[in-house]
Amino acid sequence: MGSRITGKTPGDFLYNLLRPLAWLLLHVVCRYQVSGSERIPATGPLLIVANHLSWFDPILLGSIVPRRIWFFTKIEAFAWPVVGWLLRRTGQIPVARGGSDRAALEQALTYLYEGKAVAIFPEGTVARKERMIAAHTGVAMLALRSGATVLPIAHTGTRRILRKHGGLRPSITVQVGLPYVPILPEGMPRKVGLQTITKDIMEQIATMLPPEQRGVYADQIAQEQEL
């Protein structure tokens, strides 16, 4: 399905009001460096895919990506005081973790069809000890059904923010990868294709991370680099 570009949407004003606050918070709690920001597409449907280390990750992405972003957000957060109200008013996507949430995927597809930017953390939960864990294939389904451009982003250090042993203003790095549009290989069964595309996206993120943080994707990347 082709994309349909829309103008102002409900929640834009509030989101734009919150962005400077997020930017200020980012500068207060950490030191950060971003590489590859010029690769971020300015328009069109965009599926931002990143590794997940901390509750701070959406604030980080919302601060460094110049476009308005709609995030997949755990459904429990919508019940939190103030935070839940902000999430609802800015149109964020509630997702029930632990399985395939069709309603969340359909909402994300609607946003992508409208030419919006959607961010997803395919690991589904924060990676322990800053090592990547296996991703869910919903990210590949979204990419294939929407035809959206996928933008892989790798970041380090957010798990140390505001933690006892994280130090004062820990160093954060963000690497923006090359945007591309995944295609299902001809003749490949859809289930296998979704797994293959998901693995490819996550390995692109992993290659931008230090080897010790690549987790479940480390061995495959090491083998490919030896070839």
**CATH placement of domain 12-226:** 3.40.1130.10
Q: CA-to-CA distance for 185 and 41, rounded, in angstroms?
A: 25
H helix runs in the chain, sequence order: 12-29, 57-64, 83-89, 102-113, 138-146, 190-207, 218-226
pLDDT at 86 over 60: yes
pLDDT in tens, 35-59: 999 999 999 999 999 999 999 999 9
- pTM higher than 0.95, yes or no? no
CA distances from 68 to 46, 61, 140, 226 (A): 11, 10, 22, 40
CA distances from 54 to 58, 63, 121, 164, 209 (A): 9, 15, 11, 14, 16
pLDDT in tens, 140-183: 999 999 999 999 999 999 999 988 777 889 999 999 999 999 99
pLDDT in tens, 186-208: 899 999 999 999 999 999 999 99
